[in-house]
Amino acid sequence: MSKSAPAPLTIPGMPKKGEAAPVVASIEAASTPASLQAQEPPPTLTAMSAAVPTPPPLPASSRVRPTIAVTVRLDEVRYERLKRFGGKHRITNQDIIVAALDHFLQGRE
């Protein structure tokens, strides 16, 4: 079985670590022929957005509201009970915890 030469570890044209610099010129401009560069530039985003009307915003669902993530740490026994209950009744952990929190806070506020 013949062995081929290993692939090079560097890519031609790619700077080595620590030698990278910001791009000064566009790669597209350098590779575009002069005949195409003389043409009119493409419309800007603001010009395109003025020509195309924006669609009306979608109505927000009553269930979709901005939320804040909260982490709850459970011991193994509680977690297994939560999984078992959720699987048996086909309810997500999120819905179970929100319902429990609502029930807990109902008479305390």
Each residue's pLDDT tens digit, 47-93: 554 555 566 666 655 566 788 889 999 999 999 999 999 999 999 99
pLDDT at 42: 58
Distance of CA 30 to the CA centre of its chain: 32
Binned at pLDDT 50, 70 and 90, residue 35 comes out as: low
Give pTM, 2 decimals: 0.40
- The answer to whether position 63 is within a domain reads no
- The answer to whether position 45 is within a domain reads no
Question: With 70 as the cut, is the pLDDT of residue 40 above it?
Answer: no
What is the rounded distance in angstroms from the CA atom of residue 50 to the CA atom of residue 44? 10
**Where do we find the tokens 């997500």?**
92
What is the rounded distance in angstroms from the CA atom of residue 47 to the CA atom of residue 10? 42
Q: Report the domain count for the chain.
A: 1
Nearest by Cα to 93 from 108, 109, 107, 74? 74
Segments forming the whole domain that contains residue 97: 76-106
- The answer to whether position 56 is within a domain reads no
Comparison of pLDDT for 22 and 36, the residue scoring more: 22
- The answer to whether position 86 is within a domain reads yes
